[in-house]
Structure 1
Amino acid sequence: MRTTRSVDLPVLYFGTPVALITTVNPDGSSNISPISSAWALGSRYLLGLGSEGQAAANIERLGDLVINLPSADLVYAVEAIAPTTGRSPVPAEKVPAYRHERDKWGLGNFSPVPSDTVVPPRIAECPVQIEARVAQVVPIDDGNALAVEAEVLRVHVHEEILKTHGPDRIDTEKWNPLSYAFRHYFAQGPHVGSNFRAPLLDEPVVVS
């Protein structure tokens, strides 16, 4: 039996996908916020955000957002905007690690494209772009962070990562998401197996 020991880890990022959240600022411009706490449950996406960031303020005001999922080749673009914030002045808890940046689109060399159902634009370079609307916001960690439940309204996917035949499905051999673990970025590793329900994803939905 392997031995364990109790540890005091500074962060608990054992491995999560990176998401770029686009929201709309009060002046009508848009903001991009990289986050590492994002996961799906059915038709809902659950997000973890710092309560003092511009994304949190925009989401609580408007309720619309786009969850853009970058591929591993966008790591340098993501990291270019990582130490920036849309808040001005920069919140005290973000000083001196962060600086204010109004144009994160230009800094990351990202291209905005209009959304179909929400106000914020999508990021053209991200292979997956999820339009969503907030269902509820729950303060956590004594109000220092927010748990955001968002209803997915529409999903856009680059055609080159979709299967070429059958119903709309992601080709997992072509989808290479950017992941984040203990403040380091990773690409997707080798395929080591499939869940017992995986074949069901390839079956067409029959509507009677």
Structure 2
Amino acid sequence: MHKIVQPAILYFGTPVILISTINQDGSYNLAPISSAFWLGWRCMIGISAFSKTTENIIRTRECVLNLPSEEQVASVNYLARTTGSNPVPEGKRLKGYRYEPDKFDVAGVTATTATKVKAPLVQECPVQLEAKLIAIHKLAADDVLQNGRILTMELKIVCVHTAPSILMDGCTNRIDPDKWRPLIMSFQKFYGLSNQIHYSTLAEIPENLYTTPDIEEAKMV
């Protein structure tokens, strides 16, 4: 029989993202998150209202969502408990965070130029999604103690970069899930993916039937 439990967090497993943004002085910030989902070329992220990344996205209205694979796990972990905010916000200070002005150096990764946004790409990540901010929503509107502390941001993807090694053989616009090995965070620990475990009926649907107008717009901008 199942038990009723009350875990402090409900991170059952989501992909890790390294979000790159531009600080007010023109330097770069890099931060890991793992609260995100995609529909078409739109992405929703959940993020603290008090982070440097949030501040930068609101000011510049852009960012890059860099998706690390299992191979970049050490770089992601180097960024744990670091922040670009100085002074360190109280909530993060209590969790042992420290201020780091050069996150790219800390992670040992390389910043490269994006195509449609000013925020940098992380060269080592197999997937880099340039994005524009569309809307911001406050989470927990029903709770005065939590309302406004966590935000959800709707981001529109305007350019997708992928390593050739993860493309489907013979295709120029399809990611091969047998080659792509995203880094997964589950209850604050890092995991990878195993091989496909079962045939998927949904995979019978041609991928191009999911195309949205955002893709055509991205070609024109």
The interval holding the TM-score normalised by the smaller chain is over 0.9
What residue in structure 1 maps to residue 97 of structure 2? 98
Equivalent residue runs for 1:146-161 within 5 Å: 146-161=151-166
Cα distance change on mapping 1:202 and 1:43 into 2, 3 Å: closer
Indicate the SS of the match to 1:185: strand
SS of equivalent residue, structure 1 residue 47: strand
> By how many angstroms is 1:78 displaced?
0.2
Superposed displacement of residue 8, structure 1: 0.7
Q: Which residue of 1 aligns with 2:66?
A: 68
| 8 Å CA contact retained: 1:166, 1:204 | no
Report what 2:35 is aligned to.
Answer: 37
1:179 aligns with 2:184: yes
1:18 and 2:23 correspond: no
Q: How many residues align?
A: 203
User: Are 2:96 and 1:81 aligned?
Assistant: no
Residue 167 of structure 1 deviates from its aligned partner by 4.2
Cα deviation, residue 189, structure 1: 1.6
Contact 2:14 2:184 in 1 (8 A): yes
Instruction: State the one-letter code of the partner of 2:9.
Output: V
- Alpha carbons of structure 1 residues 190 and 92: separation in structure 2 relative to 1, 3 Å: same
% identical equivalent positions: 36
Does residue 153 of structure 2 align to residue 130 of structure 1?
A: no
What do the CA deviations read for 1:86-112 (whole angstroms, capped 9, x no partner)? 000000111141000001101111101
Displacement, 1:133? Answer: 0.2
Contact 2:178–2:195 (CA<8 Å) still a contact in 1?
Answer: no
**2:4 counterpart letter in structure 1:** S
Distance 1:204 1:63, change over 3 A: closer
Distance in 2 between residues matched to 1:155 and 1:85, nearest whole Å: 27
Instruction: Letter of the 2:99 partner, please give it.
Output: H
Provide the aligned C-alpha RMSD in A. 1.6
Distance 1:166 1:62 in 2: 34
The secondary structure found in structure 2 opposite 1:87 is coil
Bigger CA drift: 181-190 or 192-201?
192-201
Structure 2 Cα separation of the partners of residues 185 and 201 of structure 1: 32
What are the ranges of 5 or more consecutive residues in structure 2 without an aligned counterpart? Answer: 141-146, 211-221
CA drift of 1:5 comes to 1.4
- Once residues 200 and 6 of structure 1 are traced to their aligned partners in structure 2, the CA distance between those partners, rounded to angstroms, is 38
SS in 2 for 1:95: helix
Contact 1:166 1:202 in 2 (8 A): no
How far the C-alpha of 1:6 sits from its partner, in A, is 1.0
TM-score (norm 1): 0.93
SS of the aligned residue for 1:191 comes to coil
Cα deviation digits, residues 142-163 of structure 1 (max 9, x gap): 1111100000101000001112
Distance 1:204 1:148 in 2: 26
Secondary structure of 1:197's counterpart equals: helix
State the TM-score, normalizing by the size of structure 2: 0.88
Over 3 Å counting, the alpha-carbon distance change for 1:170 and 1:106 in structure 2 is same
- Is the 1:169–1:201 contact (alpha carbons within 8 Å) kept by the matching residues of 2? no
Q: Secondary structure at the match of 2:106?
A: helix
Structure 1: runs of 5+ lacking an equivalent: none
Match of 1:145 among 144, 150, 153: 150
Aligned to 2:50: 52
